[in-house]
Amino acid sequence: MITAMEIRNQQFRKAVRGYSEDEVRNFLIRIAQDYENLYSEYSKSKETIQRLEQELSRYHRMEETMNNSLILAQRTAEDLKSAAKKEAQLMLDEAKRRISDILMVYQEIIKRMNVFNTELKAQVTGQLEMLEKNQRKIEELADFFYGRDLKEIMEKLETVTVGQDQHG
């Protein structure tokens, strides 16, 4: 690539009927300046493009990292959700088992209380039958002792005395 310096220092041979040296030199100076400006802009543009490409590459890496992080976060969230569901199911199963155990204990208690009540009722019934039997005997004895026959015997006994002739 030709440089601005080469344009400025370019020498042409002289010819008899050639162009005006001053015009050619001024034109070359202008071209060299324009070329310098264009080359400077080109260099700056090239640097900007390189810098932007580096930034773009960095942003692509960041985007890839963020996508990977997002995927990892989603997987982690799904894993946590799954683990939480499993734990909740285990807790629910354990609670159901405990409730079942407690219900079985209560059922056993109810069975035992029914057996106890049946036995107690049998005992109380037996005791009531004995009380009723005793009451009937007491009533029989009361009828005997408070009855008319015993009263007559007692009255006759009062009239009996010792030493009296009983014949007569």
Position 165 in a domain? no
Q: What is the pLDDT of residue 72?
A: 96
Position 48 in a domain? yes
- Closest Cα partner for 8 from 36, 29, 34, 33? 29
pTM to 2 decimal places: 0.42
Tokens 């005006």, located at residue: 20
Structurally, how many domains does the chain consist of? 1
Position 86 in a domain? yes
E-only strand ranges, the chain? none
Position 8 in a domain? yes
Position 167 in a domain? no
Residue 165 has pLDDT above 60, yes or no: no
Task: Read off the pLDDT of residues 110-130 as tens digits, 9 standing for 90 and up.
Answer: 999 999 999 999 999 999 999
Position 164 in a domain? no
Range of the domain at 56: 4-156
Q: What is the pLDDT of residue 151?
A: 76
Q: Report helix, strand or coil for 13.
A: coil
